[in-house]
Chain A
Amino acid sequence: MTVMTLAGAINAGLRAALAADPKTMLMGEDIGALGGVYRVTDGLQAEFGPRRVMDTPLAESGILGTAVGLGYRGYRPVVEIQFDGFIFPAFDQIVSQVSRTHARTNGVVSLPITIRVPFGGGIGSAEHHSESPEAYFAHTPGLRVVSPSTPQDAFTMIQQAIASNDPVLFFEPKRRYHVKGEVDVDRPLADAAPMGGANVVVTGSDVTLLAYGPLVATAMDAATAARAEGISIEVIDLRSLAPLDLDTLAASVQKTGRLVVTHEAPGFGGLGAEIVASLTERCFEYLEHAPVRVTGFDVPYPPAKLERHYLPDLDRIMDGVDRALGRVGAEAGAAS
């Protein structure tokens, strides 16, 4: 076991992927000499050279479009989108090309492109630096969407994403980049849990609380706080946002009868809406209360000094848990 930050774990995973396959290459803005604005690719260009760790012009559509062509040629591009809010110039290439080239070519051409996106808020950034755009991509057939919450998952899941023959959106919780954890760097990738599966990180019996990426830690804090009040929360880290591991999620809801979903992204049309709908369809007769979403509000990501009102925090998640338990008066603070 090695102790690493989440960012360092991704760096180690990228290094392992580059070493394992000469067709794997990294592309992005400032990822070379600088090592990325978050230093996630630190040292990799020096180790693998400028053709395998390519600094690109400042054009996100250009990065994704050229990655498509490299995919046609048999390459496995790993692209970095510098910040979540900068992904939209590439949206057309991702939605119209990356996601459907495999289908368009009747399965002949695979585009094993990994799109790394530092995402989410809580770091006091300027506008366009704290977005949570994952729902756009989860909605798009042909893409896989994942988000790790721990250094161990970051290390294994980045390698699994690169190894996948499908395009993968890899959402990195940027406010967790510097959180440290133990990483087993020696365990063979084949022995790791698949990237598509959810992970029950706290076992409980009263309420199922679903989170991913930056809010998993907050959800676990909620479970700890609730335990002191005699409430048993089961926390599940989704890990994969598309597809969803509905079997694992449904099993938990069938056990607890109560469901809370939390994410930073706005609630309307978000992942929470899909999860609640899917689980209600599957578990309607098990539910003892209407499912609850605790999400960002339906506003543009706010200026830094308003972030604390926007981001679901421990108190708002606890409030959501109270609502799911049917506690009277616990209404404020939940989105939707």
Chain B
Amino acid sequence: MKYAEPETVEEGISLLAATEGARCLAGGVSLVAMMHAGQLAPEMLVSLHRIQELSAITENGEGLWLGAMVRHRTVAADTRLGGALEVVRGAAEQLAHPAIRNMATIGGSVALADPCTDLPGALVAASARVEIAGPGGRRLIPVEQLFVDRFRTCLARGELVTRLFLPRGTRGAVGHHLRFSRVSGDYPTVSISLVLAMRGDTCQEARVAVGSCGPVPLHLTEADQRLVGTRLGELEVAEAGRLLAQAAAPIDDVRGSAEYRRLLIPRLLGRALSLAREHTHG
């Protein structure tokens, strides 16, 4: 296996473009575990840890830019991730174990596109955008467009994730990430990520993403719309939950059967909405 440590994004792109079967190495948690398990044998590893711009966190009036190499530990501790962005901070805080969070990076999480981890759903709920650099320059796309299938992204050869943009969203909006797992630290059986804005008792905005229930995070505008304009009564929440459960494509695995996951979705949605609502100041 070949190995390189580029110092600029452009250098990294050239290496990735020049070598068939090259993979980026970010925190290494999933990549190295998959190599140990014989699931991956890259021709070349392009380590990103010496590219300084990938570790930057910058803020502007609209939101926050997180470099791809920012670790979950840092995301979990960043108090700038409040309001709607709390959904991302909370997901990073709850994901796996402390030692994993010390290593794993936000860019690694999105580029891996594992639909059973916490960050993809949280980023969809937060309307995050991903900056992708490639031979043709840089582009910014909604994170939803990045996820194509289980462990598959739209990244072309020679492209890498450089940073994520998290918009602050509506004033007064709050985010919440709720995971249901067999034990703390396990992959979620189901996770609900949502951003909620209230005006008085009325839901002004809702954006819900469901994790671990399909090949990509599940987001259904129709379900969001069932909540908007309502007082989030039992009926509306149940109806939104039913739509999500119907649209979900969960699998049976050791963490729960597909049927069990479908039953969990509306229940967890109700709980996540109540918890988020406690923090709103609509």
Q: Do A and B come from one complex?
A: no
Q: Name B residues whose Cβ lies closer than 8 Å to a Cβ of A.
A: none
- Which chain A residues have a beta carbon within 8 Å of chain B's beta carbons? none
